[in-house]
Structure 1
Amino acid sequence: MPPPSQPTHRLNWADLGLVVCLVAASLGLGFGLSSSNDGSHVALARALSQGRVELQQDRDLTLRVDVAVREGVSYSDRPPGTAALATPALWIGQRFDASWAQTTQKSGVLVVWPARKKYAGTYAARLRDGPALITLQASALAASSHARLMSAVGLLLMLWLLARKGIAATPRRVTVAALAFCSLWGPYSVMLFNHVSAATLLLATWCIALDSQSNRRIWLVLGGVVGAMCVATDYLLVLAVVPMVALHCKPTRWWWWLLGAAPVALAVAWYHQLAFGNPWATGYSFQSNFAFARSLGSTFDRSPLHGFWILFGSGRDAGLLAQAPLWLLGLLGLWRQPRIALPWFAWLLAICTHHTPWGGGTMDHRYIVPLLPLAALGLARVLSSSVNGRRRIALGAVTAALALYSSSRVWSHLFEWRGL
């Protein structure tokens, strides 16, 4: 193994151990459903694991909020990618739901908490014919475990990418620890929202694209699968995936990416056809509560400056400046190489025009979690900078202060709205 001053593409047991420790640290936050958002993903994953697209009784898991209704039938309004990835975990979880419920009924003690207090109270108030939460304990555990697994994969990919970019062991590990503890990556990795899954898939697409000129064709096909799954998890990320592939891959090799993407695209189109009667229709087209979400024109109707200030400034106390300024430092660390950020530009512009860039009820910048790996690269370069003496001390002090502040804000925000 080379000394720390000589970075290598290869990760070692210390890197793997770091990720295991970071994920293990999140176990203290427990498990369970937290909102209509992850409830909708879980409901769809349970449906897919049973070979259907209708939510049926599980529609109550959406709290009757994040739900699409077509011809009187309830469906998830979420893109299907997150639920599809979680389907194996939910299939396993459902095998234990009944026995765990019986154990709870006999002992009067929950095996695991199936939901947070705020969610459980709202669920009970709105329950019509859905399952009792004690019958979903294993499903809730499976959903949270899958979310943590996706986070772990993303953190490992981040370590590899930083090594690929020539970042030495210490700064890359510090950066990944900061990503897990000092950004919204951490809070959203303990529940089944789509943001960390989408960020992980986009990061995987980036990693494959970087080596697309030397990779075997099978890797390019795999990149197409991963990129398409990223879009299936968050439709808007097509505006980042396509430029990313186009920027890093020769046109003569695009066909292999398309070959990998085609089966996923067809599967998503078939899901849309089954659920919404048209391969181009999505759950948002039939959203039962938010009229603005039913068309692109009303969903992306804000001034981009308005959205930029909310996502990156302190508007509504939701942006990076307000909640996680450490990652603004990371973005500034890329100022000498702005070209590296080009694949994210069109996507960011669209996000800034979103009708609710503050994330609706969460009041944060969760929509730009897929940008965090780019900011992490910038932060790693800041930590690797060659300044010496007092400047080095000052840089370390500023970075540490921003990290502490960011960590306290993102986690306290989670505790507040999740009811921990």
Structure 2
Amino acid sequence: MSRPARSWLQWPATGGVWVVLLLALALEFPYFERTRNANERPRLMQAMAWVDADEWAIDGVAARGLDAGPDTARSGVDGRLYPNKPPGTTIVAAAGYRVARALHGDALDLRTLTFWARVFAGVLPTLALAWLLWRRHAPVFGFGPAMAAVLTWALATPAIAYGHLLYGHALAACALHAGILAIAWAREREDPRRWPWLLLGGALAGASIGVEYMAAFAGIPIGAVLLLAIVRAEPWQRRTRLLEAAAALGGAVVPVAMLATYHQRVFGSPWSTGYLHATVADFAAAHGQGLMGLTAPSWTSTHAQFFAVDAGLLWWAPAVVLGGWGLLMAGRDPARRFEAQLHIGIIVVFVWMNASLAFDGGWRVGPRYFALALPSFVLGWAECYAQLRRSPPWITIAVALVTYGIVVDGLAANLWPHIDVDNVDAPVPELLLPLLEGGLRPWLAFGRASTHDPLIGLLALSVVTFALVFARVIEPGIRTWSSMLAGIVLGLAMVGAHGWLPRHPRGARNLAYVESVWEPKGATARSVALPELQRPARPRTH
């Protein structure tokens, strides 16, 4: 049943919540130069090459002689080295490089560059999407349910970990879901101003493919729901619905064509991705199976991505169960049906995709390739939270699941967001808690060291902030407040229960490796200053 809209303007200022979210994303800076992060290093090198030498290749003078690691591709056009990922993250990282170079000049080092690149491609996209989601849902559900739903996604899922990194997942999620929000918002309007928003929505969703190739699969549910709207429309509405779908598709064509142009210039064909030219044989073999490494769904992949203790979604974000239930409820409301069906479709497609992976997914927190679908649960969480306000048992369950997620995802995001599932079975007791108890402190923002680790205080602040927001959801009273407190205690107990889980035989060796590369611990960052850059004499051709 549709509930009356309540303006977000009637609620008190929410600046404190956004400050907490900013601190959760950017206060601590887990950086370990000796790991030679395979996802980040090639993109950083390409960003510098693009800005300094006006080229995309990463084996020229602008690369500073850095080791790019294994996630690279060898072009069949010019024989040069490139990242095997699409260039969208590079373009945003280049903005971070420009800022870092302007601030630090010849004193710029790789650590500081990485911080600024992560801010532009991880922190800011996560904050921007959180704000857009809140602005979308607060007028319908009110401040409490909408903000609690946003915080659940941003703090209690692996989104917090990828918001700390230059992996592209946060940026792709922002582009994809900003596009979806623009399309959904425009369809609700009946004035001419909606057409530019439909074009923009399609363009943003299409741009996500230029950041993460896997985002292309989101086009299936988006197209299906737009087509379904045409079929279900009254005869007098069908032309309008058809034009809406055409506008969204037209917007998406532009960034996809730009990506195809990059492929043509670098790899010789619009359809030739970096995966097809990978320099590491094992990587090429894994991603060469089926369609971009996707085969038929299997129980092995399903278990690894959703149920396994080391990286399964239900261990890193159990609150998705509530979000899924909420989406089903939202789909029964005619006013929310289009958006709910769209998000359900995205979740289903990404569940299928992850269940079909022919490879493991590398170092990660939770299922990496499901990160793009996590914002789809926000509508479901808002719907769920709005309905459980008078139910003490469900209040306890919801708060427990979110508290648990805030702690485990916060530990991983701030300490070691590179879980090696080949050497760890239970990351919390084998790796994260020992690092915390051992007093190892990561870098702080801007690459600064500190003798005091604020992580425990930061996690406590995150839990308290969620609880204060959630208090705006529930019916005031002793029973509901005590249920919320019980949920916090239960969530912390769930974290403690990890101590009973079996360990990996190589877990101790993995912990020793992490401790051996830990920073800051007498670390000296590599300089990336390039005052005597010699630009290529030939004109730019790629």
Coarse TM-score class (shorter-chain normalised):
0.7 to 0.9
Q: Secondary structure at the match of 1:285?
A: helix
Larger mean Cα displacement after TM superposition, 12-21 or 269-278: 12-21
Q: Secondary structure at the match of 1:207?
A: helix
How far apart, CA to CA, are the structure 1 residues paired with 2:218 and 2:10? 27
Q: Pick from 170, 182, 185 the counterpart of residue 144 of structure 2.
A: 170
Structure with a larger share of its residues in helix: 1
Q: TM-score, normalised by structure 1?
A: 0.80
Task: Indicate the residue corresponding to 1:127 in structure 2.
Answer: none
- Structure 1 residues 61 and 330, CA, compared in 2 at 3 Å: closer, same or farther? farther
- Structure 1 residues 205 and 60, CA, compared in 2 at 3 Å: closer, same or farther? farther
Q: Secondary structure at the match of 1:297?
A: coil
Query: How do 1:6-405 and structure 2 match up within 5 A?
Result: 7-8=6-7, 14-15=13-14, 17-30=16-29, 32=31, 35-50=37-52, 51-56=54-59, 58=63, 63-71=68-76, 72-101=79-108, 134=109, 136-146=110-120, 147-163=122-138, 166-213=140-187, 214=189, 215-248=193-226, 250-289=241-280, 290-297=283-290, 299-301=293-295, 303-313=297-307, 315=308, 317-336=310-329, 337=331, 339-340=341-342, 341-356=344-359, 358-362=360-364, 364-386=366-388, 388=390, 392-405=391-404
Unaligned runs of 5+ in 1: 102-133
Q: What is the CA distance between 1:246 and its match in structure 2?
A: 4.8
- Structure 1 residues 343 and 365, CA, compared in 2 at 3 Å: closer, same or farther? closer
Q: Secondary structure at the match of 1:85?
A: helix
- Give the letter aligned to residue 207 of structure 1: L
Q: What is the CA distance between 1:154 and its match in structure 2?
A: 0.9
Q: What is the CA distance between 1:30 and its match in structure 2?
A: 2.3
- Structure 1 residues 343 and 362, CA, compared in 2 at 3 Å: closer, same or farther? closer
Q: What is the CA distance between 1:185 and its match in structure 2?
A: 0.8
CA contact (8 A) 2:312 2:367 kept: yes
How far apart, CA to CA, are the structure 2 residues paired with 1:153 and 1:277? 35
Q: Secondary structure at the match of 1:78?
A: coil
Question: What RMSD, in angstroms, separates the aligned Cα atoms of the two structures?
Answer: 2.9
Which structure: larger Rg?
2
How far apart, CA to CA, are the structure 2 residues paired with 1:318 and 1:377? 24
C-alpha distance after superposition, 1:193-251 (max 9, x if no partner): 11111111121111112123325221122112211111211222222135325524722
How far apart, CA to CA, are the structure 2 residues paired with 1:376 and 1:46? 36
Larger mean Cα displacement after TM superposition, 363-372 or 13-22: 13-22
How far apart, CA to CA, are the structure 1 residues paired with 2:87 and 2:67? 14
CA contact (8 A) 1:311 1:320 kept: yes
Q: What is the CA distance between 1:387 and its match in structure 2?
A: 5.6
CA contact (8 A) 2:305 2:367 kept: yes
Which structure has more relative contact order (CA 8 Å, sep 6+)? It is 2
Q: What is the CA distance between 1:332 and its match in structure 2?
A: 2.6
CA contact (8 A) 2:175 2:204 kept: yes
Unaligned runs of 5+ in 2: 230-240, 332-339, 419-513, 519-542
C-alpha distance after superposition, 1:34-91 (max 9, x if no partner): 7211222222222333421101253976642111123542100112222223332223
